[in-house]
Structure formats: structure tokens, C-alpha cells
Amino acid sequence: MDWGKEAERRLNEIATCSAPGPGVTRFPFTPEHAAALDVIRGWMTQAGLSCHMDAAATLIGRSASTAGAPAVLIGSHQDSVREGGRYDGIMGVLIGCLALEQLAAEGVQLPFPVEVLAFADEEGVRFPTALLGPRALTGQLDPDALAMTDADGVSLRAALAQFGGDPDALGQMRRPRDRVQAYLEIHIEQGPVLQRDNVPCGIVTGICGIERNSITFSGETGHAGTVPMQGRRDALVAAADFIARVHDTAAGRDGLRATVGTLNLKPAVVNAIPREAELTLEIRALSDEERAAFAAEAQVWGTEIAAARGTAFSMSRTYAQPAVPCAPALMDTLEAACRHSGIAAPRLPSGATHDASAMAALCETAMLFVRCRDGISHRPEEFASAEDMAAAVQVTCEFLKGRAEAA
């Protein structure tokens, strides 16, 4: 069996489980989601797994194995962004199924059960929340999230219940820690590092922490044609100084990402000086200490720039998510699996959030990145080659064998 070609074929098939339009649009608890689960059940059955859907609408396929042994979990998400690609998330579910299918074909029997999990909602596109499945499994789900509504006014509670989930059971879903030994997620890199290094796979060292800040520069408006340039209190000019300082400083710090993603002006007319500039600053880093230090520096820069430009400045944090390091022992097992597969896999952090970030509250986690062309993701052009997916299947097989040897 050419497992890479088979992965390509199956991903092309499930990509048709999409709302109309370019690329793949598959939101949770929709007819497209239901159609995708029918396809995934076929994958799981072909791999010899027994299937069920839990209360959070996570489809779970479990292998038969030694009674009492804690399970290895392999998972990712089935949903996509609007007009996204055909690999993000769903490829990881498929690779897990194909790896178990390959091991079964080779006659390999593992001394522990393996579960493949297809989470319903990682992207958080339909509802203003995300990671529903893993948060339920780890006991981290905020019950208030069930009241959140989509663009049509449908609540998460109602959508989940109509889909066949059980909102009232979510609080009792936490897995016992002694029943799970590890979680592995396979995902496209969504970046250019593996392509640059010309390798099919990479080992993730951790998932970067994230914080978001709301920032306002307040000055004074006036007529664009009559107020002299000298003495202006232009909020946009102050904001521009700040944005450049953030970008230039972050560019010199390895592993740190800082992004001003939104900018709103008042009065926002062509012939008036902006009196207010509101912007967002998102900071990501694998070290929470480094991220917090950069935010503190940004506070100082904003205060200094505002004083120099004659404006006021305020900055408040609106969101924070801690960094999640991957387990060193699992990284070593992945590295040995890559080496056995003839891959000199580099280690690299993930700047994007994944289901693994929530699963880390339950057990040790690991992630395997697969090269994607030009680092493109969340777009129809997203692409991973059959050869690279075949490598990921092989590495996953070797990872499971490595866990078996350590058992």
C-alpha cells in the first residue's frame, strides 16, 4: 500500500464534505460535519477501530488491546475555517487511522489501546469559543460557553444537542489521568521552516503562549488644512511610531511574534487629524516570561511615544493563554521514530494553537509537523505532498512501536 497516495485520495474525498465555495468550509454541527463523520467512521472501521461519538461530538475510534493498559491518544480536528484548505486538522485524524491500518497489516500488536479522536470544533469560527472537545475531556470547559451564539443566533448548546451531543454531560467527561499515557497530534506546519530545511517532518517543542492587548492613543482632532504641522497631537502618528517599534524590536528576537492586527481611527475622515487610534497588539512566545517582558516593554514604549507626541496612552490585556511545552520524553521518542524513518527532523515551536494545547492538562503531549508548501494554510492553496504524508504515517507507526518498547 502506498500510504501517501492513499492519504491524498482520502483527503480529496472528505474535502467534498464542504459548504459551497472555494476550498473547504466545514463548520461544527452542520450537515457538512455529519457527512465528514460518516467518512471518518469508514477510516476508523478500516483500521480495525470501534467507533462512538462522545457528548462533545468528538468521534472516537478505539483499538482493542490489553485490558487495563492506559491508552495513547492520536487526534486533531475535523472542522475548517471558511474557504480553508483540505489538510489543516483533518490530515492528523487520517494519519492516525492510516498508521494503525499499517501496523495491523504488518501484524504488529501494541500492548496498549490507541484512540483516534476527531474533534468537532478547534477553529472557533462558528462560535466565539474553541477547543470544545479537548476542554471537555480535560475538565477545562467553561459551561458559560454553551450560551454563546453563532451569526444566526443559534446557541452552542442547541447546535450540539441537535447534532446528537449531550450538553448536560460535558461536565462529567473528564478522563482519569491514569487511563491515558500520551497524546500525539499530527498537523501541517502552517509555516515555512520545514520547506526551508528540506525535510518532510519536524518535532514540535511546544505551543506558544498568546496574549492580546487593547491599546489606545488619544490626541486632538482639527482641520487637516488649517492646523499647523508643528504642535499637532495626532493619535495616528503616535500609533505609527508604536507599531514600528513593536515590529522592529520583535524582528530581532528569535521565537517571538508580535502583531498589530487591527487599527481603528476617530473621526476617520479624510480632512481631519485623528484624535484617537485604537489598535490591538498580539504577542506570542514559547516562553511566558519572554512574552510578559515584551508586553511590559510595549507599555513603556507607548508611554514614551505618547509623551513625545502630545497624546495620552492606555494599554490593557484582554486575553492570555499560557505556553504549553511538549513532553521531552515524547519528543525523544518522536526523534527516534524520525531517525528510524530516515528523517533528520528539526525541532521547532508552534506559533499556532492546536488541540494539544488543551490536552496537555490531561497527559503528556507531542506534536509532529508535516511540511506544507510555502507555509500556506487556511487557504484553498494549502498543500502537503503524498510523499510527506507517507513519511508522517511511518513516523507515527515508529512512535507507537517506541511507546510499546517503553511500556
β-strand partners of 186: 368
In whole angstroms, what is the distance from residue 175 CA to residue 141 CA?
A: 13
CA distance 57 to 28: 9
pLDDT of residue 310: 98
Contacts of 10 (CB under 8 A, 6+ apart): 39, 43, 94
* Residue-range domains of the chain with CATH: 3-207+323-406 (3.40.630.10), 209-321 (3.30.70.360)
Q: Which tens digit of pLDDT belongs to each residue from 46-96?
A: 999 999 999 999 999 999 876 689 999 999 999 999 999 999 999 999 999
Cβ atoms of residues 110 and 64 within 8 Å: no
Torsions phi, psi for 384 (to 5 deg): -125, 140
Report the distance separating Cα 157 and Cα 142, nearest Å: 12
pTM: 0.89
Q: Which of 108, 87, 100, 125 is nearest to 45 (CA)?
A: 100
- The DSSP annotation for 63-80 comes to ---STTPPEEEEEEE---
Q: How many CB atoms lie within 10 A of CB 223?
A: 9
State pLDDT tens for residues 304-340: 999 999 999 999 999 999 999 999 999 999 999 999 9
Low-confidence residues in the chain, pLDDT < 70: 66-67
pLDDT at residue 406, as a whole number: 85
Phi first, then psi, for residue 175 (nearest 5°) are: -75, 140
Q: Is 49 helix (H, G, I), strand (E, B) or coil?
A: coil
